[in-house]
Amino acid sequence: MSEKITGAEALIKSLIAEGVDRVFGYPGGAIMPVYDRLYDYTDQLKHILVRHEQGATHAAQGYARVSGRTGVVIVTSGPAATNTITGLSDALMDSTPMVVITGQVASAFLGSDAFQETDVVGITQPITKWAYQIRRPEDIAWAVARAFYIANSGRPGPVVLDFAKDAQNGLVEWSHEKCNFIRSYIPYPEVNRDDVAKVAEMINKAERPLILSGHGVMISGAENELAALAEKADIPVAATLLGLSTMPSAHPLYKGMLGMHGNIGPNVNTNRCDLLIAIGMRFDDRVTGDTSKYARQAQIVHIDIDSTEFDKNIKTHATIHGDAREVLTQLLPLVKEAKHTEWLKTFDECDAVEKERVIKREVFPEEGLMLMGEVAHKVSAATDDKAVLVTDVGQNQMFSSRYFRYSLPKSIITSGGLGTMGFGLPAAIGAKMGAPERTVCFFTGDGGLQMTLQELGTIMEYGTAVKIILLNNNFLGNVRQWQEMFFNARFSQTPMINPDFVQIASAYGIKAENVESREQLDGAIERMLAHDGAYLLNVSIEATDKIFPMTPPGAGVDEILITPDEKYQLS
């Protein structure tokens, strides 16, 4: 008979048994037994003390997205648990594996409105893959194993374990058994060979095929298979925001980013192709624009591990239910070698217009204050296009995503589905901890940075060498752009009076400098990247800087503005 241990210790031993070596969290009353036992396991389980529970979730997301491992968060009950809601919702929408462990009042007090009691399971069920309350120490090992299996299998996502205090203090004979099966949960469906054969035939007959690469390609590690399919059948590839870096930017078949602020070629040719092959993406409204105008001329193929996405937003002509890598592996032998030279030339025509009418203006301005596009372009080039890009949300997100170039997979971490301002700083911390060998460049605006600014304290404590590029225009820039274009330039509550960010960073022991002119930019970037630790560049940006191309709300994907008053004209 083995020695009994407390439920708190059983949780820690279960996490270690699942291969966890790092957790992000913040202690408090209802989770204190776990933190007490953690004191004896710090050589096996490193705890990162964030400055806010929301920061813990975003740090865990950044860690998970760059490493492929499940991010783990430990917080207490009540307000701590509710502070994780944004991160849970963000992780669900962006398919990020995360296990959040919340403290809870003792079972006898449940439902009594005890101090810091919240119905965590009730609140989080709609925004998680699974939410479960542990009331007995005997259930801990089972619940943890099940949580990790659910979080990081199939379409990944967040799981919550709500841990009652009496279960933490109770004694149990602990043993761990990995979970690899749950009745009625089939994370990896068997790929239907007839579906694969049908899609292969459609590809072989297509004259103007186009691949849309989404986050599912990255999650499944199917980057090589994607490139092999594109190269064999000579198919152009475009990426969703979260699908960026699934194909190197320099690949001749890579044609750019889809969506509201994506590249002209892939958006226009979505409505000119005869076969649209969507892989690991969900036809988000920012990609489709007006769905009644979306790819009406094309046959549409959808490959996804989550069958609930089929025909949800866009009606398809064929689907393959399965993991992207497995599906592409089965497709490759059935697809014939082909050439689509004339079709590919149409992308070049679009690129020529975009380079002359948009990129020249946004990346290579000759005068005036600095623009976001030129800063992103220069930082990417200075890292030899090998950095991990982490963004906040807004214009900084769109500019940096567009003008960063990607040569390695898993090179972008951004809040896509939920669009969470404040996501970036803690996510960059988690990303650097998940890939310490890589340079992590975090682009943010002055609005988003101040939403989780306290996480500079986490950088200070752990010496996390995040490179922070603050694109500072003293505005909520994205909202300002919409106000100027669609609300008669009535700038309601978007101008911002900002603090001295360099002094704030310095107070946290972070090297920082102001960059106020174009002449200072190259040297500042060089100093930032050469510095061993964290570094902040506070870059003064033209307040009226606007992100183009732009598909206006309610428009079709080929109804593109290249300036506020000028539409792209099809040749």
Inter-CA distances, 475 with 68, 91, 453, 497, 569, Å: 35, 28, 17, 8, 32
Domain segments of the chain as ranges: 4-173, 193-346, 369-540
Q: What percent of the chain has pLDDT over 70?
A: 99
pLDDT mean over 31-49:
98
- Check pLDDT > 60 for residue 504: yes
Euclidean distance between CA atoms 152 and 156, whole angstroms: 5
For the beta carbon of residue 454, count every other beta carbon within 10 angstroms.
15
Euclidean distance between CA atoms 377 and 81, whole angstroms: 39
What is the per-residue pLDDT across 345-355, written as a single tens digit (0 to 9) for each? 999 999 999 99
What is the per-residue pLDDT across 397-423, written as a single tens digit (0 to 9) for each? 999 999 999 999 999 999 999 999 999
Beta sheet of 318-321, edge-to-edge order: 254-257, 237-239, 209-213, 275-279, 299-304, 318-321
pLDDT mean over 192-202:
98
For helices 372-382 and 395-403, the axis angle rounded to 10 degrees is 40
Residue 569's pLDDT is 84
- Mean confidence (pLDDT) of the chain: 97
- Check pLDDT > 60 for residue 1: no
- Confidence band, pLDDT 50/70/90 cuts, at residue 570: confident
DSSP state of 293: G
- Check pLDDT > 90 for residue 366: no
DSSP assignment of 487-506? STT--TT-B-----HHHHHH
Residue 272's pLDDT is 97
3-state helix, strand, coil in the chain (%, to 5): 40, 20, 40
pLDDT mean over 105-133:
96
Residue closest to 276 by CA, chosen among 263, 287, 264 = 287
pLDDT mean over 268-272:
97
Domain at 193-346: CATH architecture: 3-Layer(aba) Sandwich (3.40)
Residue 469's pLDDT is 98
- Confidence band, pLDDT 50/70/90 cuts, at residue 3: confident
Identify the CATH assignment for 369-540 out of 3.90.1640.10, 3.30.1490.20, 3.20.20.140, 3.40.50.970.
3.40.50.970
β-pair type (561-563, 566-567):
antiparallel
Euclidean distance between CA atoms 167 and 146, whole angstroms: 17
pLDDT mean over 83-92:
98
| CA neighbours closer than 13 Å in the CB half-sphere of residue 538 | 18
Residue 571's pLDDT is 63
Instruction: Output the pTM of the full model.
Output: 0.97
What is the per-residue pLDDT across 164-178, written as a single tens digit (0 to 9) for each? 999 999 999 999 999
pLDDT mean over 98-115:
95
What is the per-residue pLDDT across 443-490, written as a single tens digit (0 to 9) for each? 999 999 999 999 999 999 999 999 999 999 999 999 999 999 999 999
- The CATH class for the domain spanning 4-173 reads alpha beta
- Fold match between 4-173 and 369-540? yes
Residue closest to 556 by CA, chosen among 350, 289, 296 = 289
State the Rg of the chain over Cα. Answer: 24
